[in-house]
């Protein structure tokens, strides 16, 4: 039974509940979340993903073992958030569409576009509680919907939209991974958090 133990701080660091999606968040001021920054209500939780894609430079080299670490190269990162939105505000629909505008003369009218603008992408935060009173957070940089808009309705149920946001790099940020993470202890709130990736 020596190898059936768990770390003593396991229950303090467990992430709890579904968390919240935000347009803006300051990890140093977690109690200052504004209503206008909340993206939408969700159902079924949120999936946060950040995975590298690799090339194996030795895959076509004779007698080279597969998955030789020294010949692996990171090509990029697939980072993003996936969730089911219960929101049908113009802002929520526009976020799910990706390339779209809210009509300035009629803010109830959302118009999809055939062309992509750099301003279609925005930083999106997911923030969740930890069992110990701290929190964890992830920010997807230059998040853009890659799944489009699909509203699913049901008899006597709530309509929901599946949203998949993917982080992007720009010409100016080619060397950056489009996602960052925070894990903040309860006694560190309000201080300068450290990024943990």
The answer to whether 50 and 57 have CB atoms below 8 angstroms apart is no
DSSP run (H or E) holding 93: helix 90-97
pLDDT at 1: 66
pLDDT tens for each residue of 83-93: 999 999 999 99
pLDDT range class, residue 5, cuts 50, 70, 90: confident
pLDDT category of residue 163 using cuts at 50, 70 and 90: very high
Any idea which residue has 């720009």 for tokens?
170
Q: Whole-model pTM? A: 0.88
Q: How far is it, in rounded angstroms, from Cα 166 to Cα 139? A: 11
Q: How far apart are CA 181 and CA 196, in angstroms?
A: 6
Residue 192 — pLDDT band, cuts 50, 70, 90?
A: very low
Q: How far apart are CA 22 and CA 1, in angstroms?
A: 44
* In contact, 117 and 99? CB cutoff 8 Å: yes
Alpha-helical runs (H) found in the chain? 10-13, 90-97
Q: What mean pLDDT do residues 8-19 have?
A: 90
**Which one has a higher pLDDT value, 191 or 164?**
164
How high is the pLDDT of residue 193?
45
Q: What distance in Å separates the CA atoms of residue 129 and residue 106, rounded to the nearest whole number?
A: 38
What average pLDDT does the segment 158-185 reach? 94
- Alpha-carbon distance of 182 to 193, in angstroms, equals 7
pLDDT greater than 50 at residue 114? yes
Contact 195, 138 (CB under 8 A): no
Rounded to a whole number of angstroms, the CA Rg of the chain reads 20
């Amino acid at each position: 039974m020596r190898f059936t133990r768990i770390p003593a701080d396991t229950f303090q660091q467990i992430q709890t509940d579904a968390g919240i999606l935000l347009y803006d968040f300051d990890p140093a001021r977690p109690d200052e979340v504004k209503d206008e920054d909340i993206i939408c209500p969700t159902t079924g939780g949120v999936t946060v993903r950040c995975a590298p894609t690799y090339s194996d430079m030795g895959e076509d080299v004779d007698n080279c073992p597969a998955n030789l670490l020294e010949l692996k190269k990171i090509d990029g990162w697939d980072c993003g958030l996936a969730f089911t939105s219960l929101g049908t505000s113009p802002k929520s629909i526009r976020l799910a569409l990706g390339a779209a505008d809210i009509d300035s003369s009629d803010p109830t009218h959302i118009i999809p576009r055939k062309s992509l603008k750099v301003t279609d992408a925005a930083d999106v935060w997911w923030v969740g509680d930890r069992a110990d009173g701290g929190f964890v957070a992830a920010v997807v940089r230059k998040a853009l919907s890659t799944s489009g808009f699909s509203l699913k309705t049901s008899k006597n149920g709530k309509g929901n939209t599946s949203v998949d946001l993917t982080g992007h790099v720009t010409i100016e940020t080619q060397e950056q991974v489009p996602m960052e993470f925070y894990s903040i202890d309860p006694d560190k709130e309000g201080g300068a958090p450290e990024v943990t990736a």
